[in-house]
């Protein structure tokens, strides 16, 4: 039978997005009808306002009332479609949130598996042994630094009071030398240090030389 008449093609099931798009299209078409009815009602209202009472005015009123009933029906349909669209939108949001939650849960499961695998490779006892060994090495380094910083030049029996007295005496000596430099004359300017220059007599010129010069 399928070879002769063929089999029915599998029709994809409609989704929430498809249904929402269909509702939006229907709502848009109702908006167009409502806009047209409002325009016609506005024209009838203006004509009725200018007409005096009579059969013609009454006929226009009946047409306007008919248009108002149509508008009420269309508005009711629009409200119903909008309610359906809102419900579908809420359902779509809920479905999307559930998918996100499931994705997060799956990611957490994979992360937990990976963490368990990695933690299984870690030996706490080895880490503690490494920490103890590092602590011992640091203690040895500090002891070595203290040993290398030991001083052999200064005697241990010098008191702090003696050092203070020596420092004070050194300051007084420096002040005394400064005062001497200001009041007295420098040693290199003393009389006994100045060189003596003796002018020797100029020898007399010979007579021949004098005459030639004259």
163 burial class (0-12, 13-18, 19+ CB within 10 angstroms)? exposed
Note the pTM of the prediction, 2 decimals: 0.45
Considering 60-64, 98-102, 203-207, the range whose residues carry the highest mean pLDDT is: 98-102
Q: What is the domain partition of the chain in residue ranges?
A: 14-104
* Ranges 23-27, 114-118, 169-173: which has the least confidence: 169-173
Tens of pLDDT, residues 71-89: 999 999 999 999 999 998 8
Please tell me which residue, 65 or 182, carries the higher pLDDT value.
65
* Ranges 51-60, 73-82, 105-114, 133-142: which has the least confidence: 51-60
Instruction: Give yes or no for a contact between 120 and 69, defined as CB atoms under 8 angstroms apart.
Output: no
**Predicted local distance difference test score (pLDDT) of residue 214:** 42
Instruction: Give yes or no for a contact between 81 and 24, defined as CB atoms under 8 angstroms apart.
Output: no
84 burial class (0-12, 13-18, 19+ CB within 10 angstroms)? middle
Tens of pLDDT, residues 141-174: 988 888 887 766 555 566 677 777 777 788 777 7
């Amino acid at each position: 039978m399928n070879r002769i008449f063929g089999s029915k093609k599998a029709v994809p099931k409609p989704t929430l997005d498809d249904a929402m798009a269909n509702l939006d299209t229907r709502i848009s078409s109702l908006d167009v009808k409502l806009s047209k009815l409002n325009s016609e009602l506005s024209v009838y209202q203006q004509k009725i306002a200018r007409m005096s009472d009579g059969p013609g005015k009454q006929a226009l009123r009946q047409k306007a009332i008919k248009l108002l009933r149509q508008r009420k029906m269309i508005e009711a349909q629009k409200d119903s479609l909008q309610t359906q669209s809102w419900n579908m939108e809420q359902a779509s949001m809920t479905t999307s949130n559930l998918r996100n939650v499931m994705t997060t849960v799956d990611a957490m499961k994979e992360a937990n598996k990976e963490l368990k695998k990695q933690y299984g490779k870690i030996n706490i006892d080895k880490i503690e042994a490494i920490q103890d060994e590092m602590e011992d090495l640091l203690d040895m380094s500090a002891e070595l630094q203290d040993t290398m910083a030991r001083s052999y030049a200064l005697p241990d029996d010098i008191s702090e009071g003696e050092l203070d007295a020596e420092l004070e005496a050194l300051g007084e000596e420096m002040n005394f030398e400064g005062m001497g430099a200001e009041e007295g004359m420098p040693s290199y300017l003393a009389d006994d240090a100045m060189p003596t220059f003796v002018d020797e007599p100029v020898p007399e010129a010979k007579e021949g030389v004098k005459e030639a010069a004259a």
